[in-house]
Structure 1
Amino acid sequence: MNKKLYLIIIMLLIAGTFDLTAQTEHERYGCKYVKSKMKLRGFTEAELKYAEDLEFRSDTFDIINYRINVDVTDFSGKKIQAGAILIFLQGCQI
């Protein structure tokens, strides 16, 4: 029998003897077990106020105009030159 084929058969037999499951269903201290036993507390008034303030804050901006200039003509020098002009209006913040 060819040595490569013999080696492959031996490796498959050895690999078949191992349990190849990543996580067993009866794992007592796995992720699902720990998450099901966690006691979650409610939010405090300060945490609720902070979350409400974050929700109403606006971190948006409107792009009014933009210009992008790119020069890729220097192939032999492997150089790219670029520049950008961006005009925007900032949204309101509290």
Structure 2
Amino acid sequence: MESPKPILDFEKFDDGFVQKLVYDALVWSSLHGFVIGDKTYQRSGTVPGVGMMHAPIALLPTPFPESYWNQACEVAPIFNELVDRISLDGKFIQDSLSRF
């Protein structure tokens, strides 16, 4: 089976463009709260602004098999129902989050 052609040829990107793209993405993430705690900092999550880093992000599209897309479409309604039911159960949320 022949591998699919890439959507974008990443090798042709100029290094300056890539560095600016990464910088802009990190700034955007910080300004919009797209951050997570970094466990390498002992005080992360207990002191505001300490030990934060950008959440994982993909800057460019990544191809994946159509079968995975179809599987995700099949599972999505079930997952959405699960999230909806959990969001209505305040005690479950409180108990779950209090463990962290």
What is the TM-score when the length of structure 1 is the normalising length? 0.25
What is the TM-score when the length of structure 2 is the normalising length? 0.24
Q: Which has the higher strand share?
A: 1
Report the structure number with the largest CA radius of gyration: 1
Q: Which has the higher helix share?
A: 2
